[in-house]
Amino acid sequence: MTWIKPSFLWMMYRCGWGAKAGQETVLAVEVTRNGFEWALRHAVLSSYVRGVHPDRATWQRQVKRAPARVQWDPERDLHLRPLAYRSLQLGLCGEAVRRYADEWTVGISDVTPLAHEVHALVSGDDLDAAARLLPQEHPYPAADELLANLRP
């Protein structure tokens, strides 16, 4: 399984600003809207949620069949502390991974230098300068029905 993590600061939390062993290179992968929405339409929540799923057994069958999974993790601030709201993480397997690699990916950029520069500014307590370097991120304009079964 591979994961799409649309939040820069959540990714910095995950990879330790590109300093964790085996995670020293940070790539920004641009995918098509159609591909991202295909994955959302074919996704299930990565964990059972009473009220969203009829029962645990049904959820388990859905997870085994689904080519994509969604989990909601706390968004992060510049110090990588959790914030009160969550960001979507989209896990891909099987058919979704093939589509991601062969059809959806339209650009790949090495953002490791950016990660290190922002981290250096945060470490130097220059949060305003660090914030100015962050990639612009906006809530995804998804139709309600696209996320209806993916909200805990």
The amino acid that residue 38 corresponds to is W
Closest listed residue to residue 14, CA positions, set 69, 85, 89, 67:
89
Q: Is the pLDDT of residue 8 over 90?
A: yes
Note whether 48 and 70 are within 8 A (CB).
no
pTM: 0.89
Q: Is the pLDDT of residue 149 over 90?
A: no
Q: Side by side, which strands form the sheet with 68-76?
A: 2-4, 82-92, 68-76, 43-45
CA distances from 12 to 92, 107, 109, 118 (A): 20, 20, 15, 10
Mean pLDDT of 33-50: 94
pLDDT at 50: 87
90-134: pLDDT as tens digits: 999 999 999 999 999 999 999 999 999 999 999 999 999 999 999
